[in-house]
Amino acid sequence: MKLMAIPKAPKSRLFFLGEDPVRLLKLAADSNNLNVGKQIHAHLVVTNKVSSHNNVAQTTSVINLYGKCGRVSVARHLFDSMPKRNVVSWGALMAGYLREGLALEVLVLFKSMVSVDNMRPNEFVLTTVVSSCSSCGRVEEGKQCHGYVLKSGLEFHQHVKNALVHMYSKCSDVKGAMRVFSTVPGYDVFSYNSVLDGLVEHGHQKEAMEVLSLMVGEGVAWDSVTFVNIFGLSSCLRNLRLGLQVHCRMLKTNIEYDAYVYSTIMDMYGKCGKLAYAVRFFKCLQTHSVVSWTTIMAANFQNGYFEEALNLFVKMRLEDISPNEYTFAVLLNSSASLSVLRHGALIHACAEKLGFKDHVIVGNALINMYAKSGNIEAAYEAFSDMIHRDIVTWNVMISGYSHHGLGKEALNVFQDMLTAGDHPNYITFVAVLSACAHLGLVQQGFYYVNQLMKQYCVEPGVEHFTCIVGLLSRAGLLDEAESYMRSVSIKWDSIAWRTLLNACFLHRNYGLGRRVAEIVMQMDHNDAGTYLLLSNMYAKARRWDGVVKIRKLMRERNIKKEPGVSWVEIKDTAHVFVSEDKSHPESRQIYEKVAELLVKIKLLGYAPDITAVLHDVEDEQKEDYLSYHSEKLAIAYSLMKTPSEAPIRVIKNLRMCDDCHTAVKLISKLTNRVIIVRDANRFHHFKDGYCSCADYW
């Protein structure tokens, strides 16, 4: 091996001769100057001072240096070679591990410190150990540390106290946090920040507001962390007024703000519906990071600008910024909202390649994306692949199955969730109850609302009661559903009444339907869907006068019927079809294909259902109107362009009409294809002449 020439030492190397090495090591550590630190270390080694039996302080200083500069394994090596250590040596090493995120190792060290070395922890060590408990979520160990704190009388020490407050609030023991916070006098901005963060994170916004006013009352000066917490509180509450107030205060407070503050303020504006403010803020930033990019993408997503969120990713890549797990979550959720399966799968591949697929938020977003894009099998695959699951994981899987009409599968996952010992929440029960509705499990639905929800301390809300209305309706118990609505004393929203109205339509209960329609239209004047449902109901009953009345109302109230739009992805292109529209370049062939299909399924028993079309059109023309509904065009085109075994996925902006539903069932049988349609409410899986919604949607 060739030896490298040893460079001549520059004069500056020896600048520290004659200085106190401990002091210099601290300077190097605090300024994160590993190079200078190493030189001092080398000097000590050469002059044989490190590891000599009498110089614990110097070795500890070196340990501190390596710990602070991210070389904890070097620090550990030195620590292990020390014949004698003091409490400061332990403290320095533990701090190094905590800095690296190796909190569990700190706890291990603490155990051997007190039980093997028989050393009493001081306020520094306890602060570090309690912080470690927070960062790895160990409440039990945290409580034991609290015992040590009390035993050593250190509960009045500001750092220790703050670490305890933070530990309890991070481990979702808000009561414990408040106890330490309020029983031990003397707060500084740190304790306020800790307790605020914990309260906000665990959904105790009311208490957070109280603590905030306490803090304001005491005149504690805010620092940038306080701003982060209070902006976070504003976004949680979707309270724009509070957010604006805090922004004003920020402009008037002359302290230094950092990227954390800038990201949360954008997040606040995004969540409070002020996307333009967030964007303006984003554009003013001199430098952009993954976090600021992801925040602005998320703000677009939250405000319905899904495509823009995806486009921003391209711009982010142009700035050469690498995505992280949050970025992928936003991208996947945006793809989900657009139902762009191919694009979503591409992002999936990208996330996998960059090693982000095992993050819970990415896994959750994958399940959501596949479920919303119509590929429920792939959603389940993503679900099965996950190493860590949280409440959202279970919720998206259960509600995914429910939306696809797969009630049995949904309830199985719910059972697995309970077996795994995870606690269902408000959202879980909405999904579970709608699964019960699909399966017609009336008794079970009532059991969940009346018993199981109590057991898990989940307060039933209007959405759960609406599920019960849906459950009764679906079982054909319309009068029971109505009297249930009148007997439960909550404020029903228009969604609940529309559920009942839809049931009246499906069960052709014209009398009740008219009454319910009155209520719905009073609550929501502008929903075209309600008017159409009602007019369809009149048409089914051949009450043409009713149809005319509704059309007139719609004209008077200037309610526009949204045109039916369907789209399919074929290769790299999304093909969009509007009812009756002939602008597609292959329009002629498509219309011919539809006509051919209709002729063939008529032989299987299809009869066009013309009642849904305006009564004043000639019957033959009515059939034409139905024939070229957008989903029929989209399906015909897919049949022309895709291999015979490929499933067809169609997305549609409105609810499917009766006629198309019947036709597509028969087309699936005729062509032996799986056809999946995502309409405005749910998924329909057509196969062998049947649909997963069991003709109730």
CA 510, 513, 516: angle at the middle one, nearest 5? Answer: 160
Residue 357 is a binding residue for DNA (CB under 7 A) = no
Q: Which is nearer to DNA, 308 or 580 (CB)?
A: 308
Stretch that binds DNA, among 293-301, 432-440, 528-536, 630-638 (CB under 7 A): 293-301
In the block, which residue shows the tokens 């306890």?
A: 126
Residue 64 is a binding residue for DNA (CB under 7 A) = yes
Do residues 375 and 335 touch, judged by C-beta distance below 8 A? no
Stretch that binds DNA, among 104-112, 322-330, 445-453, 634-642 (CB under 7 A): 322-330
Nearest to 191 by CA among 215, 219, 216, 217: 215
Q: Which is nearer to DNA, 129 or 597 (CB)?
A: 129
Do residues 466 and 473 touch, judged by C-beta distance below 8 A? no
Cα(637)–Cα(353) distance, integer angstroms: 34
Q: Which is nearer to DNA, 31 or 483 (CB)?
A: 31
Enumerate residues 6+ apart whose C-beta is below 8 A from 245.
Answer: none
Stretch that binds DNA, among 190-198, 243-251, 453-461, 488-496 (CB under 7 A): 190-198
**Least distance CB 334 / DNA (angstroms):** 8
Residue 399 is a binding residue for DNA (CB under 7 A) = no
Q: Which is nearer to DNA, 90 or 531 (CB)?
A: 90
Query: Which of 176, 232, 243, 546 touches DNA (CB under 7 A)?
Result: 232
Query: Which of 36, 78, 98, 439 touches DNA (CB under 7 A)?
Result: 98
Residue 56 is a binding residue for DNA (CB under 7 A) = yes
Could you give the string, one character per residue 25-54, with x where binding to DNA holds by CB under 7 A and - elsewhere? xx--xx------------------------
Any idea what DSSP says for residue 221? Answer: P
Within positions 112 to 141, which residues make up the interface with DNA, using CB under 7 A?
Answer: 122-125, 127-128, 131, 134-135
Distance of CA 154 to the CA centre of its chain: 40
Q: Give the pairing of strands 690-691 and 648-652.
A: unpaired
Q: Which is nearer to DNA, 304 or 563 (CB)?
A: 304
Residue 291 is a binding residue for DNA (CB under 7 A) = yes
Any idea what DSSP says for residue 448? Answer: I
End-to-end CA gap in the chain:
78
- Compute φ and ψ for 59, nearest 5 degrees: -60, -40
Residue 193 is a binding residue for DNA (CB under 7 A) = yes
Stretch that binds DNA, among 69-77, 259-267, 548-556, 614-622 (CB under 7 A): 259-267
Within positions 138 to 167, which residues make up the interface with DNA, using CB under 7 A?
Answer: 157-163, 166
Stretch that binds DNA, among 327-335, 339-347, 577-585, 632-640 (CB under 7 A): 327-335
Stretch that binds DNA, among 1-9, 319-327, 468-476, 524-532 (CB under 7 A): 319-327
Residue 267 is a binding residue for DNA (CB under 7 A) = yes
The answer to whether the Cα torsion of 296, 298, 301, 303 is positive or negative is negative
Q: Which is nearer to DNA, 257 or 696 (CB)?
A: 257
Residue 68 is a binding residue for DNA (CB under 7 A) = yes
Stretch that binds DNA, among 188-196, 434-442, 572-580, 655-663 (CB under 7 A): 188-196
Residue 279 is a binding residue for DNA (CB under 7 A) = no
Query: Which of 66, 181, 277, 301 touches DNA (CB under 7 A)?
Result: 301
Question: Contacts for 558-565 with beta carbons within 8 Å, 24 or more apart?
Answer: 559/525, 559/526, 559/528, 559/531, 560/528, 561/528, 561/532, 562/528, 562/653, 562/654, 564/629, 564/630, 564/631, 564/652, 564/653, 564/654, 565/630, 565/652, 565/653, 565/654
**Least distance CB 337 / DNA (angstroms):** 8
CA 212, 213, 214: angle at the middle one, nearest 5? Answer: 90
**Least distance CB 258 / DNA (angstroms):** 5
Tokens of 198: 């914990």
In the block, which residue shows the tokens 């139905």?
A: 626
Enumerate residues 6+ apart whose C-beta is below 8 A from 634.
Answer: 566, 567, 568, 575, 577, 650, 652
Residue 316 is a binding residue for DNA (CB under 7 A) = no
Residue 190 is a binding residue for DNA (CB under 7 A) = yes
